[in-house]
Amino acid sequence: MKQGKLFVVSGPSGTGKGTVCGRILDDRENTIYSVSMTTREPREGEEDGKEYFFTDKEKFLKMIDDGELLEHAQVYGQHYGTPKAFVADMLKNGKNVILELDVQGAMSVRKEDPDAVLIFILPPSVAELERRISGRGTESPESKARRLSEAINEISCADKYDYIVINDDLDKAVEEVKAIMTAEQLKVTESSAGVIEKYKEES
Ligand code: ADP
Ligand code: 5GP
């Protein structure tokens, strides 16, 4: 069976990563979202196991020690990490996996899996980013200020990614991410040899 592909989506808080990924997961079969572990508090409406697995610092650090995380990073003062076994199982079963990660996490994943595809989602402007974080209504004034002050550092790393998508018009951004995923899956790889072989056998 053809191994699945890893897609990493990053971008500053409020740029629309969750919204874009949600739309892609609704529309694309064979693509699955990896739910991260975090020590941050759940926002109103967030469910354990859906947006994140919410945990405490002690358990999180134990998972690191036990080698259970594919990558982990501290973002906005909290720990975030990707459960390793789930991702490995899904890829082995031919599923494409989406990881929503900060820049440090994305760079760690690239080291672990050089075939991972890294996509950076930019807002149309910093002013619009601020409107979106405020409009979402989930952050305290301190958390909002921290996220905005980090935004420009994160945006400065966008050129380390394979693709940049500007999330101005949501439909267009979703179509662009889908196009990237489709093209990446059609790329010639070692497993393409099996496909070509079939034609030789038939002739
Ligand atoms: P992130 O996951 O990057 O932190 P969200 O997906 O939570 O961002 O989006 C932040 C806010 O911006 C949400 O209220 C969402 O509805 C809104 N949003 C997302 N994409 C767009 C868009 N293209 N145009 C306008 N608002 C958007
Ligand atoms: P939020 O608290 O807004 O959900 O996420 C904050 C930041 O943490 C976002 O940039 C998000 O992409 C990042 N993040 C979420 N899960 C992970 C993870 O498992 N690992 C890493 N490195 N970053 C993550």
What would the pLDDT profile of 141-177 be if each residue is shown by its tens digit? Answer: 999 999 999 999 999 999 999 999 999 999 999 999 9
- Residues of the chain with pLDDT > 70, as a percent, come to 100
The pTM assigned to this predicted structure is 0.96
Query: Is the per-residue pLDDT at 90 higher than 80?
Result: yes
Contact 165, 121 (CB under 8 A): yes
Specify the pLDDT at position 106.
Answer: 98
Residue among 19, 75, 98, 154 whose CB has most ligand 1 atoms within 8 A, to mutate = 19
Q: What is the mean pLDDT of the chain?
A: 95
Find the ligand nearest to 168 CA: 1
Query: Is the per-residue pLDDT at 193 higher than 90?
Result: no
**End-to-end Cα spacing for the chain:** 24
Nearest protein CA to atom 20 of ligand 2, as residue: 81
Specify the pLDDT at position 189.
Answer: 83
Residue 45 sits at φ, ψ, to 5 deg, of 90, -15
Specify the pLDDT at position 195.
Answer: 84
Query: Is the per-residue pLDDT at 1 higher than 80?
Result: no
66 pLDDT tier (thresholds 50, 70, 90): very high
Nearest protein CA to atom 20 of ligand 1, as residue: 16
User: What phi-psi label fits residue 45: left (phi over 0), alpha (psi between -120 and 50 degrees) or beta?
Assistant: left
Q: Do the strands 52-54 and 69-75 form a parallel or antiparallel pair, or are they unpaired?
A: unpaired
**Residue (of 145, 23, 34, 119) closest to 82 by Cα position:** 34
Specify the pLDDT at position 174.
Answer: 97
Specify the pLDDT at position 190.
Answer: 79
Give the tokens for residue 48: 């354990």
